[in-house]
Amino acid sequence: MKRLHWISPLLAWGVVVLAAVFIPWGTHLILSVGRTEDELGLKVGWIRKIEEIERYAWRLGCSRLDAVEAAKPGDVETESNLHERYQQQLEAVRTSATSDTIVQEGLSKLALLVARMEDLHARGNEPRTERSEIAPSPAEWLSATNAATTEAQVLEAKLRKDLKRISQALSSDWLQINLMAILSCALAVTLALVLFAYDRSLKDRKQAEEEERLLRAELAHVGRLSVVGEMGTNLAHELNQPLSAIHSYLAGCVRRLQQEGGDHADLIQAMHAAAEEARRASSIIQRMREFVRRSKPLTSTVDLNELVREMLPLLSGELKEQRVQPELRLAKALEPVLADRVQIGQVLVNLIRNSLEAMSHIPTSERKLIIRTSMAADHAVEVAVEDTGGGLSPDVLQNLFQPFHTTKPKGMGMGLAISRTIIDAHGGWIRADPGPGRGAIFHFQIPCLQRVASS
Amino acid sequence: MIARSTVFIVDDDPGVRKSLTWLLESVRLQVETYESAQSFLEACTPERPGCLLLDLRMPGMGGLELQQALSAQGIPLPVIFVTGHGDVPAAVRAFKAGAFDFLEKPFSDHELLERIHEAIALDTDARAVRAQKAAVREQVESLTPRQRDILDLVVSGATSKDIAQHLGLSLSTVEGHRIRILRRMGAEGVADLVRVVTRAEIGPRSNGPGARVGPKAAG
């Protein structure tokens, strides 16, 4: 039943460890993906711009080559527009990639090459003067254009290589993120399932325990009813005592009043005594009713000395019938136990009646009943009921606490079985031993409140 | 006799003892209570008249045992058993042992008082009879052996002549003894003498001469 208790700390630790691992890992991954994506965007932007620069260089080169071949001036307006855009792109890449040395180097090389082209262009645009001979030749244009575009392509290729690396890292990050998400989902589901199962098993166990408790209480109740049934005539005798006393008191009062010779104070005293007897009768009924009441099991702190004294009046009829005056040897300092008062009272009644029954065949002078309470080792209270009856043969001793095992002509043989069930449920034990001379000692122990609290 | 009759109550329950005392004193009965059979057995004497109200079931010595002990000690109190739970075997045993009555609680006060008065009356009568018997016995004891012989023969119905012949005495001697016997016993005549002696249940001495004379119907 208690095997599942290790689960709840384990679950708690599992949750803590998962949180400690998954939260930093996840945060790291998400941040890194963000950074990588930014970088990727930046690099893609650079590539676009460098492509534009390349296009500019190419177009400038082509347009000049065409112009040179056609021996006419190029489209100045378009060219100046292109130049402007080229400057913008160059500037944009330069400022945004200040920390990237490869790009910076590439750019400065490119810028030099383009500057050379523009220089060629500027030379070509001058009026055909003495410098016309130094007007750039198509071959010059071609090589300048090729150099610029090649450089742009080299830079672009470098960037694309970077881009590839970055996107690879990015996809690996995403892979990790997905993996983590799947893993944590799976773990969460498992955790939830385990928790659910644990909760269910707890509930089932609680329910089973509750059912068992109620069943035991019901059994004990039936046991008490049968005990009271067996004690019926003796209980009636107990009630008859105060009732006949009341009758005698009142009849005496009536006679005195009829004779008009009664002393007032005496009459009052007798009536008081009658009232006291009525109270005694009602307390007997009260105690009996408490004993047979169908009650839910109710644990409270119980002083066993007090309980012994409370149960004896219920049995006084039987004690008298057997001419037995019980000898009480109650421990002075007895720790309270946590118990169901009525049920432990029932065990006491069972044991005492058992002893009386055992002594019914021996002469009255030899009958002796000792009820003892004491503190036992390991914070338990022991109660012993000792008699001088016929004792217990080993055969009887073996089956003593089995249900329906009886040596009595009347009785169901449930008393001791029920007693053991009750004591077991209280976490104690009950046992029978041979008495010091003849007879038997029945004793039981129940753990004290202190032991119950500390465990 | 001179001592007043007492109702002895033996019950282990103080409530029952006190309430019965209260009830019985209301009809001016003298009551003494004892909480156990032992304490009563130690305190009681055969001389005290009255009756015993006895609880059947008590721890230690019970009512039936006390009854037996009392009859063993020759204490002739009539016993009224009082019980809250009367079972038939116990009642049978009580009556066999000579109980006066067996009352089961709850009983009415009338019934109880009636039975107590009857028991006391019985006890008083029995004591009177016993006292009378004792007196007769004492008178018989005070006779001389010769006179005793003659008394036995007179009671067994022998005439003076038979007696004289039987004892080898003269008729006048026998007559003289008869007159002295009558005077000593306070009897008015032979018939009265025979009645008194018979009621006192004084048999003829087994070794006396009367044993040899066949018994005849006494006057």
- Residue-wise pLDDT for B70-123, tens only, equals 989 888 899 999 887 767 888 888 898 889 999 888 788 899 999 999 999 999
- A238 contacts in chain B (CB < 8 Å): 84
Of A69-73, A226-230, B39-43, where does mean pLDDT reach its minimum? A69-73
| Cross-strand pairs, A328 | A371
The DSSP H or E segment spanning A163 is helix A138-259
Instruction: Report pLDDT for B21.
Output: 94
Instruction: Count the neighbouring beta carbons within 10 Å of the beta carbon of residue A411.
Output: 15
Asked if A258 has any chain B CB less than 8 Å from its own CB, the reply is: no
Instruction: Report pLDDT for B211.
Output: 42
Residues B94-103 have pLDDT tens digits of 898 889 999 8
Of A55-59, A281-285, A324-328, A419-423, where does mean pLDDT reach its minimum? A55-59
**Contact call for B106 and A237, based on CB within 8 A:** no
Say whether pLDDT at B1 is over 80.
Answer: no
Asked if A284 has any chain B CB less than 8 Å from its own CB, the reply is: no
Q: Which residue has the higher pLDDT, A261 or A340?
A: A340
Instruction: Report pLDDT for A3.
Output: 53
A319: closest chain B residue by CA: B59
The mean per-residue pLDDT over the stretch B204-217 comes to 46
**Contact call for A273 and B15, based on CB within 8 A:** yes
- B107 contacts in chain A (CB < 8 Å): 244
Say whether pLDDT at A35 is over 70.
Answer: yes
Please, what is the average pLDDT of chain B? 83
β-strands A337-340, A299-302 pairing = antiparallel
CA–CA separation, A344 and A446 (whole Å):
10
Say whether pLDDT at A39 is over 50.
Answer: yes
Q: What are phi and psi of B60, to 5 degrees?
A: 75, -130
Question: How confident is residue A191, by pLDDT bands cut at 50, 70 and 90?
Answer: confident
pLDDT exceeding 70 applies to what percent of chain B?
89
Say whether pLDDT at B210 is over 50.
Answer: no
- A246 contacts in chain B (CB < 8 Å): 19
**Contact call for A270 and B16, based on CB within 8 A:** no
Residues in chain B, how many?
219
Of A12-16, A194-198, A402-406, B151-155, where does mean pLDDT reach its minimum? A402-406
Q: Which residue has the higher pLDDT, A135 or A194?
A: A194
Instruction: Report pLDDT for A444.
Output: 93
Of A165-174, B33-42, B184-193, where does mean pLDDT reach its minimum? B184-193
Of A25-34, A96-105, A203-212, where does mean pLDDT reach its minimum? A96-105
Distance from CA of B36 to the nearest CA of A (A): 12
Q: Which residue has the higher pLDDT, B90 or B32?
A: B32
- CB contact set of B62 (below 8 Å; sequence gap of 6+): A323, A364, B37, B56
Entry pTM = 0.59
**Contact call for B22 and A241, based on CB within 8 A:** no
Which B positions 100-139 lie with beta carbon below 8 A of chain A?
105-109
Pick the closest to residue B61 from B12, B9, B6 (CA basis): B12
CA–CA separation, A316 and A237 (whole Å):
9
Asked if B89 has any chain A CB less than 8 Å from its own CB, the reply is: no
Instruction: Report pLDDT for B213.
Output: 45
Instruction: Report pLDDT for A180.
Output: 86
Which A positions 262-281 lie with beta carbon below 8 A of chain B?
262, 270, 273-274, 276-277, 280
Instruction: Report pLDDT for B209.
Output: 46
pLDDT exceeding 90 applies to what percent of chain B?
29
Q: Which residue has the higher pLDDT, B31 or A82?
A: B31
Cβ pairs bridging A and B (under 8 Å): 97
Sheet containing strand B50-55, edge to edge, reads B30-34, B6-10, B50-55, B79-83, B101-104
The mean per-residue pLDDT over the stretch B190-200 comes to 79
CA–CA separation, A254 and A247 (whole Å):
10
- B109 contacts in chain A (CB < 8 Å): 247-248, 251-252, 255
Which of B18, B58, B105 lies closest to A320 in CB terms? B58
**Contact call for B85 and A277, based on CB within 8 A:** no
The mean per-residue pLDDT over the stretch B56-75 comes to 87
Please, what is the average pLDDT of chain A? 82
**B28: exposed, middle or buried (Cβ count in 10 Å: 0-12, 13-18, 19+):** exposed
Instruction: Report pLDDT for A329.
Output: 92
- B15 contacts in chain A (CB < 8 Å): 241-242, 245, 273, 276-277, 280
Distance from CA of B27 to the nearest CA of A (A): 8
**Contact call for A273 and B22, based on CB within 8 A:** yes
Say whether pLDDT at B216 is over 50.
Answer: no
Identify whether the C-beta of residue B174 lies closer than 8 Å to the C-beta of residue B150: yes
Q: Which residue has the higher pLDDT, A404 or A340?
A: A340
**A118: exposed, middle or buried (Cβ count in 10 Å: 0-12, 13-18, 19+):** middle
- B38 contacts in chain A (CB < 8 Å): none
Residues in chain A, how many?
455
Asked if B25 has any chain A CB less than 8 Å from its own CB, the reply is: yes
pLDDT exceeding 70 applies to what percent of chain A?
89
DSSP A270-289: HHHHHHHHHHHHHHHHHHHH
CA–CA separation, A185 and A178 (whole Å):
10
Say whether pLDDT at B191 is over 70.
Answer: yes
Say whether pLDDT at A372 is over 90.
Answer: yes
Type of residue at A302: V
DSSP A18-29: HHHHHHHHHHHH
Instruction: Report pLDDT for A220.
Output: 83
Identify whether the C-beta of residue A191 lies closer than 8 Å to the C-beta of residue A7: no
pLDDT winner (highest mean) among A4-8, A19-23, A421-425: A421-425
Q: Which residue has the higher pLDDT, A418 or A400?
A: A418
**Contact call for B23 and A252, based on CB within 8 A:** yes
Alpha helices in chain B (DSSP H): 14-26, 37-43, 63-72, 88-96, 109-142, 145-155, 160-167, 171-185, 190-199
Say whether pLDDT at B217 is over 50.
Answer: no
**Contact call for B23 and A248, based on CB within 8 A:** yes
CA–CA separation, A341 and A422 (whole Å):
11
**Contact call for A247 and B13, based on CB within 8 A:** no
**Contact call for B105 and A241, based on CB within 8 A:** yes
